[in-house]
Structure 1
Amino acid sequence: MDTSQSPSRAERIDGPSVRIGALVPLSRPGWIEAGRHLLAGLDLAAREVNVTGGILGKPLELIVRDTAADPQRATAAVDELARLGAAALAGEYHSVVARAVAARADALGLPFLCSSAVLDALTEQPTDWVARLAPAQSHGWQIYADFLLSAGHRRIAVATQSSVYWASGTRILRDYLAPRGGTVLELDTGARAPKVVCDELVDHRVTALLLLVGYPEPAVPIVRSVRRDPRLAGILIGAPAGQPEFAEWATLLGREGTSIPFLRYLPERLSSLGVRVDAALRERLAEAPSFVAFEGYDTLTVLADVLRSQGVDRPLGTESWSRVVVEGTRGKIQFSRAPGISVWQWTWPPVQVADRDPDEPTRFRTLYVA
C-alpha cells in the first residue's frame, strides 16, 4: 500500500484475522520506555493497515507479549504465538532476547522481523526465517568509533557489565580503533564502584568514557560521579547503545545527562511519511517519539506489505525478504545478505550520532552523520 498518504476511510474487512505476534519489553528488568515506544509504532501501523483494508480483506490482529528482557520468557512466548497461528513475529528491543526469539523462530519455521536489536550474531547459522531492520552492531558502532576519532579521542575507556551484547560492543570498538591509533581500557563495573571508575579514568589519562552498561543502574550513578569529579571536567561521556534517547534519561539526570553522544537511527530530515507518523506517535505517546517507535512502525509496514504481496498462506522465506521494496518512515527498505550477518538485513538504515543540548535538554543535536 502507499503509506505516504494518511488513511482516509475504513474499507470493509471481515473473516478470520491475520495474526502477528509482537514481542516487546514492558516490565522490569526490561527497558520499559523502549518497549512502550516500540509497541506504539507497531500498533499505529497495525491500525492503519486495518483502516486501509487489512491484509487481503482480512483484519490484522496484533498479539502482544511482554518479554521483560528475559530470553526464556520470550522463547515461551514464541511457542505460544506459534500455537495461536501467528503468521509472523515482530519487535523486540534487547539483543540477548532477540537472539533467543530468532533461534526459536528459526527452529519452528516462523518468520521474525526484528525491529531494534543489533547484535551481529542474531542466529548461530544463516537463516531465511529472520530479517532485521536495525543496523548490525558492527556497522553502527564502527560509525561511532569514527566519530570518536574525528573528535580527537584516542585514549578511550569502556565501563562494562557482563553481557554478550556489551562484550560484542567492546570487541568491535577495540578491533576498529586499534589499527587507527586508539586504545580501549575496559572497566568492569561489577567490580568497581563509580568512584573507583573515576580514579582509573584519571590514572590512565582517558579522554572518553563509553557507557556499555545497563540503565538506569549503573549508568546513571556513573554519569553523576564523573560529572561531579573536578578531575574529569574535560572528559567526554558517550553512550553508543542509545540510553540518552529516551525522556526518562533527561528526567533522571537533567543537565548532567546532556552532551553525551549516542547512536540514533534516524535521517537528518524525515520524509513526508515520517513527518505524518511522527505527529501521530507524538499524540499517542504524549512525548517526542524515539527512533525505536519509528522502527516499530516500519516493521509492521514491511510485514503487511509482504503478506499482501504473497498471501497469508505461504510462508515467508528467501524470496519474501529479497523482494521487499517498501517506503518506510526513514527511507526505502530493502533486505540483503550482508557479510558476517546471519539474517536478512536492511542495508542500511540511516545512522547518526546525536546528543542532548545542554542549553535545552529536551532538544537533540546531530553531531555526526555516516
Structure 2
Amino acid sequence: MTIQTTSTAPVKQPIRLGALAPLTRPGFFEAGRHLGAGIELAVDEINAAGGIGGRPIELLLRDTAGAPGRAVDAVREFAARDAVAVVGEYHSVVAHAAAGEAVKARLPFVCSSAVLDAVVESPTDLVARVAPAQSYCWSVYADYLVSARHRHVALVIEPDRYWSAGARLLRTFLPERGARVTEFEYASLNGTSLTDALVAAGDVDALLLLVGYPEPAVSLVKAVRADPRLAGLRIGDPAGRAESPQWWALLGEDGADVPFLRYLPARLGPLGTRVAERLAGNLGEPASFVAFEGYDSVQVVAEAARVGGPDRRRVAEALTSVKVAGTRGTMSFARGSGADLQWTWPPVQVASRRDPRRPEAISVLFDDGVR
C-alpha cells in the first residue's frame, strides 16, 4: 500500500511597502484620497498578477494629515518593519521631511506628488520623483499667463517653504516673459484690504493664490468675486486645489474658471485609460492626476524590485536604470534640478473647470508641448 502525503508549498514572505498620504485634515485630504486610491490599485494589480517573484506586496499606508512630524514617524516605522521602499505624499513640506528621514534610514523614497525642487537637501539616489519639479511646472504656468495676455500679475502669499519658493520662481519667470509682478503678504491683509490693494495697484489682471486651503484661499476668492471693481480679474491656483470637488462645494460659481496645474498628457494611452476606468469606479468620481501619480510610483518600486531585487539597497541601485511603463508615459530617472532623481519630464497642463454643474468637464488651456 502506498501512503500518499500532501505537501504545501512554503508561503513566501510579503514585501513590505510604506506609503504616505494626507487622509485627514488639516492635510489636503481630497488629494490624499486620490493618491491612496492610486497606490492601492497598483498594489492590488501587482498582487493579482502574482506579486514580485511570487511574493505579494504588503502595503503599509499611513495618514500624514499634512504634518511633517507624522511623516517622519511613519518613515521610522517603515524602516523598523523592513519595508523595501516608501511611496506617496502630496504636500511638499511633508515630503521634504519624509525624504530627509528616508535618506537617514537608507530607505528608497519614490515621491508621488510633491513638486518642491529641494525635496531633499543633498544629492542622493535614494529619492526619486514622478511629479515635476516646481521650477519646471511653474515655468509652464508662467508661459500660460503670458500667452493669455496677462501683463501684471499679483501674488498673495503665506510664506513657507513651498509658497515662498513658488513666489521666488514667479518673480523670475514672469518678468523674463514681459509681465510685472506685485506681491502681497497675506498676514498683513484681510479680504477687504486685499481687494482695495488690488484696485490701488492699478492694472492687475491676474491674482495667484499662494496661500493655504480651504482657508484663506476660499475667503479670498469670495472677496475678489464680490467686488465689482475687480470684474474680469483672473484668479489662478497653480497648486491645483481648484480641481477638487470640495472647491466647488465651497465656492460654487465663484470657483469657476480658475486655472490650475495638473500632470496629465493630452491623451491617455491604453494603460492610462484602463487605470482611469478602474480608479473612477473605486473613487466614485473621475480620477485626478494625483491618483495616477500614486499608481505610477508603486510601479516604479515594483520594477526596481524586479530588476534589482526586493531589498532596499538593490531597489535604490535600480532606480537610476529602470524604465517603467506608467499611466502617463515611460518613466526613467536622472538627476533633476534638485538633489533627487527626477522623471524628466512628466506631462504638464494648465486647465480649468468652467461649469460647477459639470465638475467632470475640464478645459485644457495650455500644455508644455512635450507630449
Give the TM-score range, shorter chain: over 0.9
Deviations 1:147-193 (A, max 9, x none): 11111112111111121100000000011112332222111122211
| Residue range with higher mean Cα deviation, 183-192 or 291-300 | 183-192
Deviations 1:270-325 (A, max 9, x none): 11111111110011111111100000010111111111111113614664122111
Three-state SS of the structure 1 residue aligned to 2:350 is strand
The structure 2 residue matched to 1:67, chosen from 64, 68, 77, is 64
Compute the displacement of 1:361 (Å).
Answer: 4.2
Q: Is the 8 A contact 1:258 1:361 kept in 2?
A: no
The structure 1 residue matched to 2:330, chosen from 315, 329, 332, is 332
Three-state SS of the structure 2 residue aligned to 1:215 is coil
Compute the displacement of 1:244 (Å).
Answer: 0.9
The structure 2 residue matched to 1:288, chosen from 286, 289, 293, is 286
In structure 1, the partner of 2:3 is none
Q: Is the 8 A contact 2:90 2:114 kept in 1?
A: yes
Three-state SS of the structure 2 residue aligned to 1:368 is strand
Question: Structure 1: how far apart are the matches of 2:153 and 2:124?
Answer: 36
1:304 aligns with 2:302: yes
Question: Structure 2: how far apart are the matches of 1:330 and 1:357?
Answer: 25
1:240 aligns with 2:228: no
Compute the displacement of 1:43 (Å).
Answer: 0.1
Q: Is the 8 A contact 2:89 2:95 kept in 1?
A: yes
1:46 aligns with 2:22: no
Question: Structure 2: how far apart are the matches of 1:244 and 1:51?
Answer: 35
In structure 2, the partner of 1:174 is 171
1:148 aligns with 2:145: yes
Summarize the alignment of residues 347-366 of structure 1 with structure 2, pairs less than 5 Å apart: 347-358=344-355, 360-362=357-359, 363-366=361-364
Identity over aligned pairs, percent: 52
Letter of the 1:28 counterpart? R
| Residue range with higher mean Cα deviation, 66-75 or 315-324 | 315-324
Q: Is the 8 A contact 2:305 2:315 kept in 1?
A: no
Question: Structure 1: how far apart are the matches of 2:366 and 2:176?
Answer: 21
Deviations 1:196-223 (A, max 9, x none): 1111111112110001111110111111
1:261 aligns with 2:266: no
The structure 2 residue matched to 1:87, chosen from 80, 84, 87, is 84
Letter of the 2:34 counterpart? H
Three-state SS of the structure 1 residue aligned to 2:313 is coil
- CA shift in 2, pair 1:296/1:359, >3 Å: closer
Three-state SS of the structure 2 residue aligned to 1:89 is strand
Q: Is the 8 A contact 2:15 2:58 kept in 1?
A: yes
Q: Is the 8 A contact 2:205 2:234 kept in 1?
A: yes
Question: Structure 2: how far apart are the matches of 1:273 and 1:116?
Answer: 20
In structure 1, the partner of 2:318 is 320
Q: Is the 8 A contact 2:144 2:366 kept in 1?
A: yes
Q: Is the 8 A contact 1:13 1:53 kept in 2?
A: no
Question: Structure 2: how far apart are the matches of 1:127 and 1:76?
Answer: 21
Compute the displacement of 1:108 (Å).
Answer: 1.2
Unmatched 5+ stretches in structure 1: 1-11
Compute the displacement of 1:14 (Å).
Answer: 3.7
In structure 2, the partner of 1:131 is 128
In structure 2, the partner of 1:7 is none
Question: Structure 1: how far apart are the matches of 2:22 and 2:99?
Answer: 16
Question: Structure 2: how far apart are the matches of 1:318 and 1:79?
Answer: 18
In structure 2, the partner of 1:5 is none
In structure 2, the partner of 1:3 is none
Compute the displacement of 1:112 (Å).
Answer: 0.3
Question: Structure 2: how far apart are the matches of 1:234 and 1:217?
Answer: 23
Question: Structure 2: how far apart are the matches of 1:149 and 1:156?
Answer: 10
In structure 2, the partner of 1:204 is 201
Three-state SS of the structure 2 residue aligned to 1:332 is strand
Question: Structure 2: how far apart are the matches of 1:171 and 1:274?
Answer: 34
Letter of the 1:168 counterpart? A
Question: Structure 2: how far apart are the matches of 1:48 and 1:29?
Answer: 31
Q: Is the 8 A contact 1:250 1:361 kept in 2?
A: no
Deviations 1:15-73 (A, max 9, x none): 11100001111111111111110000000000000000101111101101111111111
Compute the displacement of 1:344 (Å).
Answer: 0.3
Question: Structure 2: how far apart are the matches of 1:72 and 1:351?
Answer: 30
Question: Structure 1: how far apart are the matches of 2:176 and 2:222?
Answer: 32
- CA shift in 2, pair 1:318/1:108, >3 Å: closer
Question: Structure 2: how far apart are the matches of 1:155 and 1:174?
Answer: 12
Question: Structure 1: how far apart are the matches of 2:339 and 2:316?
Answer: 13
Compute the displacement of 1:124 (Å).
Answer: 1.1
Letter of the 1:183 counterpart? R
Letter of the 1:283 counterpart? G
1:121 aligns with 2:118: yes
Three-state SS of the structure 1 residue aligned to 2:319 is helix
Deviations 1:84-143 (A, max 9, x none): 111000000000000001111111110000000000001111111100000000100000
Three-state SS of the structure 1 residue aligned to 2:277 is helix
Letter of the 1:266 counterpart? L
Question: Structure 1: how far apart are the matches of 2:36 and 2:247?
Answer: 19
